[in-house]
Amino acid sequence: MKQIVKIITKKDFSSFVNSLINDKTYDVVGVVEKGKRYVFDTLSSAKELQLDYDVTILPPKKYFLPQTESLLTFSLEKPFDGKETLDDTPRIIIGVHPYDIIALEQTDRHYLDQQQDNFYKKRRENTIIIGVDIKNVSDQSFAASMETNVTDSGFDLLLTDIGINYAVTIGSEKGTRLLEKYATAENASNSDLKKIITVRNAVAKKYKQKVNIDKKDWSSLLVANYNHAIWEEHSDVCMECSSCTMVCPTCFCYDVKDNVSLNLKEGTRVRTWDGCMLKEFTKVGSGEVFREEVKERYRHRFFRKGNYLPERYGFVACVGCGRCGSACLPDIADPCNLINELGHFNSEENTGKYFIKEETEVLERGIIHVPRSATIKKIIPFNEIDTLFEIELDDKKPLGHKPGQFVEVSIFGYGEAPFGISTPPGNSPVFEIMVRQVGNVTKRLCLLQPGDKVGIRGPLGNGFDVKTFEGKTLLFTSGGTGMVPMRSLINHILDPKQRPKFKDIIILYGAKRPKEITFMNDVDRWKKVSNVQCELTVDRCEPSECWDGCTGLITTLFPKIKADKIDSKNTIAVVIGPPVMYKFVIKCLQTLGVPDNNIYVSLERRMKCGVGKCGHCQMNGVYVCKEGPVFNYGKLKQLPEAFE
Ligand SMILES: Cc1cc2nc3c(=O)[nH]c(=O)nc-3n(C[C@H](O)[C@H](O)[C@H](O)COP(=O)(O)OP(=O)(O)OC[C@H]3O[C@@H](n4cnc5c(N)ncnc54)[C@H](O)[C@@H]3O)c2cc1C
Ligand code: SF4
Ligand code: SF4
Ligand code: FES
Q: Say whether pLDDT at 359 is over 60.
A: no
Do residues 241 and 200 both lie within one domain?
no
| Whether residue 551 sits in one domain with residue 402 | no
Indicate if ligand 2 lies below 6 Å from the C-beta of 243: yes
The confidence score (pLDDT) of residue 568 equals 82
- From CA 311, how far away is CA 317, in angstroms rounded? 11
Which residue's alpha carbon is nearest to atom 32 within ligand 1?
439
* Strands of the sheet with 571-576, listed across from one edge: 550-551, 532-538, 505-511, 473-479, 571-576, 599-602, 630-632
Element (H, E) at 341: helix 335-343
Let me know whether 51 and 189 are in one domain. Answer: yes
Tell me which of 134, 321, 334, 339 to substitute to probe ligand 3's pocket, judged by most ligand atoms within 8 Å of the beta carbon.
Answer: 321
Question: Which pLDDT value is given to residue 542?
Answer: 83
More confident residue, 638 or 315: 315
Which atom of ligand 3 approaches the CA of 142 most closely? 3
The answer to whether residue 638 sits within a structural domain is: no
219 CA → ligand 4 middle, Å: 23
- Ligand 4 center from residue 257 Cα (angstroms): 14
Ligand 2: atom nearest CA of 275 is 5
- Quick one: DSSP state of residue 189? P
- Distance from Cα 254 to the centre of ligand 4, integer Å: 9
* pLDDT per residue as tens digits for the range 455-503: 999 999 999 999 999 999 999 999 999 999 999 999 999 999 999 999 9
Instruction: Specify if 617 maps to a domain.
Output: no
Say if ligand 4 is within 6 A of residue 484 CB.
no
What would the pLDDT profile of 171-221 be if each residue is shown by its tens digit? 999 999 999 999 999 999 999 999 999 999 999 999 999 999 999 999 999
Residue at 64 is within a domain:
yes
> What's the mean per-residue pLDDT of the chain?
93
Ligand 3 neighbourhood includes 613 CB (under 6 angstroms):
no
Per residue in 499-555, pLDDT (tens digit) is 999 999 999 999 999 999 999 999 999 999 989 999 999 999 888 888 888 999 999
Question: Is the same domain home to 79 and 188?
Answer: yes
- Cα separation, 423 vs 446, in Å, equals 19
C-beta of residue 142 within 8 angstroms of C-beta of residue 209: yes
Please report the pLDDT score of residue 121 as a whole number: 95
Q: Is the pLDDT of residue 322 over 70?
A: yes
Over pLDDT 90: what percentage of the chain? 85
Whether residue 416 lies inside any domain: the answer is yes
Q: Are residues 315 and 285 in the same domain?
A: yes
Look at residue 366 in the predicted model and tell me its pLDDT: 62
- What number is the average pLDDT over the span 316-342? 97
Reported as a pLDDT band with limits 50, 70 and 90, residue 350 is low
**Three-state secondary structure readout of 81-92:** CEEECCCCCCEE
**What confidence score (pLDDT) does residue 566 get?**
79
- For residue 612, being part of any structural domain is answered with no
Beta carbon of 417 within 6 Å of any ligand 4 atom = no
Give the ligand whose atoms come closest to the C-alpha of residue 518: 1
Q: Are residues 445 and 522 in the same domain?
A: no
Q: Check which CATH number belongs to the domain holding 454 and give it.
A: 2.40.30.10
Residue ending a domain, choose from 568, 587, 602: 602
Residue 286 confidence (pLDDT):
67
CATH code at position 533: 3.40.50.80
CA geometry: angle at 64 spanning 157 and 412, to 5°? 160
Ligand 2 neighbour 242 (Cβ under 6 A) = yes
Atom from ligand 1 closest to the CA of residue 386: 11
Non-local (6+) Cβ contacts of 179 within 8 A are 6, 8, 16, 157, 168, 170, 185
Predicted confidence (pLDDT) per residue in 83-140, tens digit: 999 888 999 999 999 999 999 999 999 999 878 899 999 999 999 999 999 999 999 9
Task: Answer whether residue 245 shows pLDDT above 60.
Answer: yes
224 and 85 in a single domain? The answer is no
Question: 524 CB under 6 A from ligand 2?
Answer: no
Report the residue among 146, 276, 319, 339 best suited for mutation to probe ligand 3: largest number of ligand atoms under 8 A from its CB.
319
User: Is the model's pLDDT at 365 over the cut of 60?
Assistant: no
In this prediction, residue 181 carries a pLDDT of: 96
For the chain, how many structural domains are there in total? 4
Provide, rounded to the nearest whole percent, the portion of the chain with pLDDT above 70: 96
Q: Are residues 590 and 480 in the same domain?
A: yes
How much is the average pLDDT of 350-357? 68
- 608 within ligand 4 shell (Cβ under 6 A): yes
Instruction: Give per-residue pLDDT as tens, 558-614.
Output: 999 987 777 888 999 999 998 889 999 999 999 999 999 999 999 988 899 999 999
Indicate if ligand 2 lies below 6 Å from the C-beta of 330: yes
Look at strands 571-576 and 157-161 and give their pairing. unpaired
Q: Which of 429, 460, 491 corresponds to the end of one domain?
A: 460
Determine which helix (DSSP H) or strand (DSSP E) holds 588, and give its type and residue range: helix 581-592
Give the per-residue pLDDT at 561. 92
* Better-scored residue on pLDDT, 353 or 506: 506
Q: With contact defined as beta carbons under 8 Å apart, do 522 and 488 qualify?
A: no
- Specify which of 260-264, 319-323, 616-620 reaches the highest per-range mean pLDDT: 319-323
Shared-domain flag, residues 473 and 454: no
Angle at which helices 10-23 and 173-182 cross, to 10°: 100
Instruction: Determine how β-strand 599-602 pairs with β-strand 571-576.
Output: parallel
Cis peptide before 371 (omega within 30 of 0): no
Domain boundary among 322, 343, 364: 343
Q: Is 41 exposed, middle or buried (0-12, 13-18, 19+ CB in 10 A)?
A: middle
CA of 245 to the centre of ligand 3 (A): 8
Q: Is residue 242 part of a domain?
A: yes
Q: Is the CB of 615 under 6 A from ligand 4?
A: yes
Q: If you average pLDDT over residues 286-306, what whole number do you get?
A: 89
**Ligand 2 within 6 A of CB of 79:** no
What pLDDT, on a 0 to 100 scale, did the predictor assign at position 348?
62
- The mean per-residue pLDDT over the stretch 404-410 comes to 96
Is residue 127 included in any domain, yes or no? yes
Q: Ligand 4 in contact with 517 (CB < 6 A)?
A: no
Compute φ and ψ for 419, nearest 5 degrees. Answer: -140, 140
Mutation pick for ligand 4 pocket among 623, 631, 641 (CB with most ligand atoms within 8 Å): 623
> What's the pLDDT score for residue 344?
86
Our answer on whether the CB atom of 625 is closer than 6 Å to any ligand 4 atom is yes
SS3 434: strand
Does the residue 172 lie in any domain?
A: yes
Tens of pLDDT, residues 36-56:
999 999 999 999 999 999 999
- Kindly state whether residues 172 and 50 are assigned to the same domain: yes
What number does the ligand 2 atom closest to the CA of 245 have?
4
The yes-or-no verdict on residue 351 having pLDDT over 70 is no
Mean pLDDT of 329-346: 93
Q: How far apart are CA 86 and CA 14, in angstroms?
A: 32
Distance (Å) from CA 578 to ligand 1 centroid: 12
Q: Is the pLDDT of residue 360 over 80?
A: no
* 127-132: strand order across its sheet: 37-42, 27-34, 91-96, 127-132, 157-161, 165-170, 5-9, 186-187
| Residues 595 and 471 reside in one and the same domain | yes
Decide whether any atom of ligand 2 lies within 6 Å of the 602 Cβ.
no
DSSP E strand boundaries for 382-531: 386-393, 406-411, 415-420, 430-436, 453-460, 473-479, 505-511
Q: Which ligand is nearest to the CA of 284?
A: 1
User: Do both 441 and 483 map to the same domain?
Assistant: no
* Domain of residue 108, residue span: 5-204
pLDDT at 638 over 90: no
CB 184 within 8 A of CB 12: yes
Q: Note the ligand closest to the C-alpha atom of 236.
A: 2
